[in-house]
Structures are given as structure tokens and as C-alpha cells.
């Protein structure tokens, strides 16, 4: 994909991996729609991109722990933009020092499932008509090598809460969503892929967990950019990548019954059904 003049939305783009990806997209001539919770950081990045004089950028503030704010984000993006050529669902919560303290979103859902998965699910569906109108277009879901089967009988982990499981379950949900949406969009000019960008990158998320980085955020950005621009992926969809290598996700990602159950549940939880 030639990014010159293309409109790209990157969630969670005021820090870490998302920030680097946003800068690279702008350097390639794209119009980057920045997103984050912190307006000051978002506006600083917007001005940095504008000062570089290559691409251009605007900032949208939203807390993805609230589905109402996800809807407001989508409304604002659609109000201002006739086309969206790439959506990168990058925003998310990692582990962190409070990982084993169960928290809930504004809508009462387990927080990591809400932010890492439900927000992206809802945002993607709200933007989908415009993505289809802008085809060829791409959707990239930033997930993780850390995956664990979804327990549909204890989805919000109200019993025996474990923060690591909450994170891994939310990341596998992203992968099921990727595969399911790719099948739905087959032949419509919008491809969907997901990836584990790199292991323990040198980002704020990793440092807050007191983990020594073993890769750089630039390596993760390389992997994300590959899925955005690769000519080889123009006619392929529904793939999971471990960095830049096509790989296999956890077994549940290929379970048709799990796909259907998660799809129905997600539509109900986000008010799409």
C-alpha cells in the first residue's frame, strides 16, 4: 500500500509502539488520526508530525474503558473523515503492578477484556462502512503471543480472578475476532490481520511491570508497518503473525463454535445486536 494521502487511525498512539507507528505513517505521507486518553501528549505528537512537514495528523481523545467514549470517538472520526484506509487497533492494557487486582470498565466489564478487546470490536464495527467504502483497506489488530482459552462460563473472571489470565484471554479474543471478521469481509476489499509485534518491547507498559526489555519498540513498529504496506498481503486475510512470521495462534482461535459464541456475546455486550 502506498500510504501517501491515505487516512490511518491508530488507537493508543501517544506512547510506546503506537507512537512510533504513527510517526512512521506520517513520514510515509499518510494522514494519521491519533488517539489517546491524554490530550496534552496527543497534541504534542500532532505538532511534532506537522512540524516534520511530511504527513499530517489530528488527535482524538477517548478512554476506551468506556463504550460510550468508543462510540463518541467513532462519531468524531466519521464526522471529520470521508475515508479510512487503515485501522490499527493498538491501544491496550498490559499486566502492570496491579495485575491481580480485579477492576471493571465504565460499563461494568472486566477491565482488560473491555479495553483490549471489546473497545476494538465496537470501534471496528462502527467504522466498517467507511473502511468498506475506502477499499482497498486494512485492519490490523495488535495482540500478543500470550494467549489463553476463553472461559465463556467465567468470562469476566468474577471467580478466581487472575490478571495474567485476564490479559491472555483478552488477547486471544482479539485473534478470534480477526479470523471471524476476515471471513465476513472476504472478497470485499478489506483485509484483517493480527500480530504479536515483539516480546517485552522497551515500552512504558513493560517497564511498569519491572520486566527487562528484550526487544525494541522499533522492532514492533517494523512488524506492524509490514502488515500495513506489504504487497504480499493485499489479497490475503485472516492471518496471525509472530512479529513478521506467519504463525499459528492458540487452538481455540480455530474453533468455529467459539467464534460464534464470542461474536454473539460481543455484539450483545457492546449493544450492536
The number of distinct structural domains making up the chain is: 1
Could you read off the pLDDT of 150-198 as tens digits, one per residue?
999 999 999 999 999 999 999 999 999 999 999 999 999 999 999 999 8
CATH number, domain with residue 37 = 3.40.50.720
Catalytic residue flag (residue 167): yes
**Is 11 among the domain residues?**
yes
3-state secondary structure of 181: helix
CA distances from 75 to 13, 48, 71, 102, 108 (A): 19, 26, 6, 30, 23
Q: Taking the CA atoms of the chain, what radius of gyration do you get in angstroms?
A: 17
**Is 151 among the domain residues?**
yes
pTM over 0.85: yes
31, 109, 117, 167: the catalytic one is 167
Could you read off the pLDDT of 228-247 as tens digits, one per residue?
999 999 899 999 999 999 99
Asked whether the beta carbons of 144 and 256 are under 8 A apart, the reply is no
pLDDT at 238: 98
**Is 15 among the domain residues?**
yes
Q: Return d(Cα 77, Cα 61) in angstroms, integer.
A: 11
* Angle, vertex CA 50, rays to CA 219 and CA 60, nearest 5: 80
**Is 1 among the domain residues?**
no
Structural domain containing residue 41: 7-270
Amino acid at each position: 500500500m502506498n500510504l501517501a494521502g491515505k487516512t490511518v487511525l491508530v488507537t493508543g498512539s501517544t506512547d510506546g509502539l503506537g507512537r512510533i507507528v504513527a510517526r512512521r505513517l506520517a513520514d510515509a505521507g499518510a494522514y494519521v488520526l491519533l488517539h489517546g486518553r491524554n490530550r496534552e501528549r496527543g497534541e504534542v505528537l500532532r505538532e511534532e508530525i506537522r512540524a516534520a512537514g511530511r504527513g499530517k495528523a489530528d488527535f482524538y481523545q477517548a478512554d476506551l474503558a468506556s463504550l460510550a467514549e468508543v462510540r463518541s470517538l467513532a462519531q468524531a472520526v466519521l464526522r471529520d473523515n470521508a475515508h479510512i484506509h487503515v485501522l490499527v487497533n493498538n491501544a491496550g492494557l498490559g499486566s502492570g503492578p496491579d495485575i491481580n487486582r480485579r477492576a471493571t470498565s465504565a460499563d461494568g466489564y472486566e477491565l482488560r477484556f473491555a479495553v483490549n478487546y471489546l473497545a476494538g470490536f465496537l470501534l471496528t464495527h462502527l467504522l466498517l462502512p467507511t473502511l468498506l467504502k475506502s477499499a482497498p483497506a486494512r485492519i490490523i489488530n495488535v495482540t500478543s503471543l500470550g494467549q489463553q482459552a476463553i472461559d465463556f462460563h467465567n468470562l469476566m473472571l468474577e471467580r478466581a480472578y487472575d490478571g495474567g489470565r485476564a490479559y491472555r484471554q483478552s488477547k486471544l479474543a482479539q485473534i478470534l475476532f480477526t479470523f471471524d471478521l476476515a471471513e465476513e469481509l472476504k472478497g470485499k476489499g478489506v483485509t484483517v490481520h493480527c500480530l504479536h509485534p515483539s516480546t517485552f518491547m522497551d515500552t512504558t507498559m513493560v517497564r511498569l511491570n519491572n520486566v527487562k526489555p528484550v526487544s525494541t519498540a522499533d522492532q514492533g513498529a517494523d512488524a506492524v508497518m509490514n502488515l500495513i504496506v506489504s504487497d504480499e498481503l493485499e489479497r490475503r486475510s485472516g492471518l496471525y503473525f509472530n512479529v513478521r512470521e506467519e504463525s499459528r495462534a492458540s487452538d481455540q482461535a480455530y474453533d468455529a463454535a467459539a467464534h460464534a459464541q464470542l461474536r454473539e456475546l460481543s455484539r450483545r455486550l457492546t449493544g450492536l445486536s
